[in-house]
C-alpha cells in the first residue's frame, strides 16, 4: 500500500492525561469508527506505521485513543498533528450514487456534446452542495455544481464522469 493511497480519518490534536492518550479531531463523516478501530496507520514526520488501538472513547466532539507504543504524555506530545489513516478497503460503504471525495478526484470529465472537458482536480464543500473543479486545457477552470441536473453518471472503474453543462458554466 502506498502512502498516497491512504485515507485520512483523524488528526492528533493534543494529549489527555499522563498515560499517553491522544485527543483526535475527526476528519471523517463517521466519527463512530474510532470506537471500533482495532488498528490504524499513524503518519508523522514523513513516516507511516501501523499501530494497535488499545482503547477508544468519545470525548465531546472528539475521541480519545490509547495507541500502542505511546505510553506517556511526552510520547503523545511528539505525535501532535500526526494523521490517523486507513486503507481504502476499510472505508464505510456509502449509498448508491454517493462518493467519497478521494474517489472522485482525478476522474476524467466528459460532456454530452463537447466530449472530454478535463480532469476533476478539487472539490469545494459549500453549504448547499459540493462544487467540482475541473481543469480543462480548452476551457480553463470549470466549476460544476454537484447536482443531479449536472452530474449525469460517475463510473469509478473507468475513472470517468459524464456531465451536462448548464448555460453559463463555460
Question: Does residue 72 sit within a domain?
Answer: yes
Pairing status of strand 131-136 against strand 140-145 = antiparallel
**49 and 83: one domain?**
yes
pLDDT-derived band at 104, boundaries 50, 70, 90: very high
Residue-level pLDDT at 1: 47
Say if residue 7 is in the same domain as residue 62: yes
pLDDT score for 97: 85
Show Cβ contacts of residue 155 under 8 Å, excluding neighbours closer than 6 positions: 161, 162
Within a domain: 170 = no
Q: Which of 69, 90, 111 is the last residue of a domain?
A: 90
Overall pTM > 0.75: no
| Average pLDDT over the chain, rounded to an integer | 92
For residue 168, being part of any structural domain is answered with no
Residues 45 and 110 in one domain: no
Tally of structural domains, the chain:
2
11 and 61 in a single domain? The answer is yes
Confidence of residue 84 (pLDDT cuts 50, 70, 90): very high
Among 121, 117, 103, smallest CA distance to 165 is for: 117
- The C-alpha atoms of residue 6 and residue 8 are separated, in whole angstroms, by 7
If asked whether residues 86 and 114 sit together in one domain, one would say no
Separate counts of helices (H) and strands (E) for the chain: 2, 12
C-alpha cell, 60 = 465531546
* 26 & 63 share domain: yes
| Domain closes at, from 65, 90, 115 | 90
pLDDT of the residue at 3: 61
pLDDT digits over 49-71, tens only? Answer: 999 999 999 999 899 999 999 99
Same domain, 78 and 140: no
pLDDT at 2 over 60: no
pLDDT above 90 covers a percentage of the chain that reads 72
**For residue 45, pLDDT beyond 70:** yes
Strand-pairing partners, residue 124, are: 131
Band of residue 91 on the pLDDT scale cut at 50, 70, 90: confident
Residue 102's pLDDT is 86
Strands, E, within 60-96: which ranges? 62-67, 83-86
Residues 118 and 159 reside in one and the same domain: yes
Please give the pLDDT value at position 167: 87
Could you tell me the residue range of the domain that residue 10 belongs to? 3-90
81 in the same domain as 17: yes
Q: Which of 66, 90, 114 is the last residue of a domain?
A: 90
54 & 132 share domain: no
Phi, psi at 95, each rounded to 5°: -60, 160
Q: Is the pLDDT of residue 160 over 80?
A: yes
Is 121's pLDDT higher than 80? yes
Confidence of residue 149 (pLDDT cuts 50, 70, 90): very high
| Res 152 pLDDT > 70 | yes
Amino acid at each position: 500500500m502506498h502512502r498516497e493511497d491512504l485515507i485520512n480519518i483523524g488528526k492528533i490534536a493534543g494529549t489527555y492525561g499522563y498515560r499517553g492518550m491522544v485527543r483526535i479531531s475527526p476528519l471523517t463523516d463517521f466519527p463512530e469508527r474510532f470506537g471500533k478501530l482495532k488498528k490504524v496507520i499513524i503518519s508523522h514526520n514523513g513516516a507511516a506505521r501501523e499501530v494497535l488501538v488499545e482503547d477508544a472513547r468519545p470525548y465531546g466532539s472528539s475521541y480519545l485513543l490509547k495507541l500502542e507504543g505511546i505510553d506517556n504524555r511526552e510520547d503523545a506530545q511528539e505525535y501532535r498533528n500526526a494523521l490517523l489513516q486507513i486503507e481504502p478497503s476499510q472505508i464505510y460503504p456509502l449509498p448508491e450514487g454517493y462518493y467519497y471525495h478521494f474517489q472522485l478526484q482525478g476522474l476524467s470529465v466528459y460532456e454530452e456534446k463537447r466530449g472530454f472537458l478535463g480532469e476533476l482536480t478539487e472539490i469545494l464543500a459549500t453549504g448547499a452542495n459540493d462544487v467540482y473543479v475541473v481543469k480543462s486545457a480548452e476551457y480553463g477552470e470549470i466549476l460544476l455544481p454537484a447536482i443531479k441536473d449536472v452530474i449525469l453518471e460517475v463510473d469509478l472503474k473507468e475513472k470517468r464522469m459524464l456531465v451536462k453543462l448548464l448555460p453559463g458554466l463555460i
